Structure 1
Amino acid sequence: MTQIASPSSALVRKIALIVSHVLSPIILATLLLLLTPLRDASIAWSEAVLAAVFTTIIPWLILALAKRRGAVTDMHVTVRRQRHLIYAMTATMIIIGLIILWLVNASAGIFREVFCILLGLFTVAIINIWWKVSVHLAVGTYVILQVASQRADLLPAVLLFIAVLSWSRLRSFQHTATQVCGGVAVGILIHYAHEVMALFVN
């Protein structure tokens, strides 16, 4: 017998999907890049905008075009086999952005931020060959750790953010708990890669 979802469970899923959209990787990564001058005074606003344009905004436009043409089923690219081309195009745009930042002699801080996003993209792309990891949690965890970096008092907020985002992906039935945990692990790994880079690249 086919089970019919109750109105309450349908409402919960709808709320979870809204949270997933609001806290999508594109939105979080764009805000992270655009607001980097508030966290690092050495980064100019023009550099932040340039980084965002090539790292997230143009890739989002490419994704929107792919969605319109039917190359992907949704803007979150939940079908794993559809992700490879999107990852490749996004990586290409980020590399072009890094080259332009180098040509305009941008600060080391924005280079680190963009390079770590590229590193995260490569990491999830490699994992994606065999397994579907949560990009939402990879990006979300990285972003919140970057924002709260060196602020132990913000640890409760970090944990709450990760918990809410994890809940949204689980209750919208987009990921399993293991895939969510995998995304969190990737986000933590890339955050610490950024911290190590900061020790050597200034």
Structure 2
Amino acid sequence: MDRISVKHNKFSIRQRFRNTGTAGLISDLLNPLFLPPVVIALLAILVELPLRSIAWITAAALIFYTIIPLSASLYLLKTKQISSIDLPERKSRNQLFLLSLGCSLFAFTIYTVANTHIIIPIIALIFLINAGIGYGINFWWKISMHSASGSSAGAIFLFFSQQEVLPASFATTILPLLILLLLLPLIIWARYRLKIHTWTELLAGAAAGFLLTIIELTMLTVIW
């Protein structure tokens, strides 16, 4: 049974932390729904976009990558269409994958039409492609989207720091190492500790997220 209290058809943050402890806190803070806005906001800052541009780009990311999917997840939990916010059952993920695909498409379209810095729509397209691949894989295997999202975020900053797309700074040097060597292992430990995934599912997610992102970025930066 899941580790979230759904006794009264509502999500309780206090009860969840009480039941899941540090592993649950790490899992929630580094949720795949939270990482895209952080990645996009950091990239917008690192390429030195105007403050107004950073604000609307980040707001759009929060709406499409976080608020809408998270609200849908809580609704499905409340109506008992899913048993846990952690989505331990493979089939329960399909609806949210489709919603994430739609939201990712809207975000990519908005960033492209707005003619912002080229790095922003490229990253939005990466998120869209990876969501589509994740949806396809989910029909036969429940790999960890937490670890995939974490390794993908690390791959993004690693790729651009090596390609000198981002201005050279301490942040561009330390970010890939921080994500891949600290945050990603924490994500993997937390999801295993919560018994949501096996080691195979977690490592497969991390490998897929990293390799797919590097391949996609290599192709897109040549084509775009």
What TM-score results when the alignment is normalised by the length of structure 2? Answer: 0.75
Corresponding residue for 1:171? 193
Percentage of matched positions with identical amino acids = 21
Distance in 1, Cα, partners of 2:87 & 2:47: 32
When residues 182 and 83 of structure 1 are mapped into structure 2, their CA distance, relative to the original with a 3 A threshold, is same
Alpha-carbon contact 1:36-1:48 (below 8 Å) kept: no
Q: Moved runs in structure 1, 4+ residues, more than 4 A?
A: 151-156
Residues 40-64 of structure 1: CA distance to partner in whole angstroms, max 9, x if unpaired? 2358312332233223322222222
- Give the letter for the 1:124 counterpart: G
The equivalences for 1:1-202 within 5 A come to 14-41=21-48, 44-45=53-54, 46-149=56-159, 150=161, 156-157=177-178, 158-192=180-214, 193-201=216-224
Which stretches in structure 1 are left out of the alignment for 5+ residues?
1-10
Distance in 2, Cα, partners of 1:129 & 1:186: 16
- Give the letter for the 1:89 counterpart: L
Distance in 1, Cα, partners of 2:40 & 2:135: 21
Which stretches in structure 2 are left out of the alignment for 5+ residues?
1-17, 162-171
Query: Greater relative contact order (Cα 8 A, min sep 6): structure 1 or 2?
Result: 1
- Give the letter for the 1:187 counterpart: G
When residues 155 and 64 of structure 1 are mapped into structure 2, their CA distance, relative to the original with a 3 A threshold, is closer
State the number of aligned residues.
Answer: 191
Distance in 2, Cα, partners of 1:47 & 1:103: 12
Alpha-carbon contact 1:55-1:114 (below 8 Å) kept: no
SS at match of 1:26: coil
Distance in 1, Cα, partners of 2:207 & 2:182: 16
Shift of 1:39: 2.6
- Give the letter for the 2:140 counterpart: W
Distance in 1, Cα, partners of 2:45 & 2:37: 14
Alpha-carbon contact 2:147-2:187 (below 8 Å) kept: yes
Distance in 2, Cα, partners of 1:13 & 1:111: 36
When residues 69 and 34 of structure 1 are mapped into structure 2, their CA distance, relative to the original with a 3 A threshold, is farther
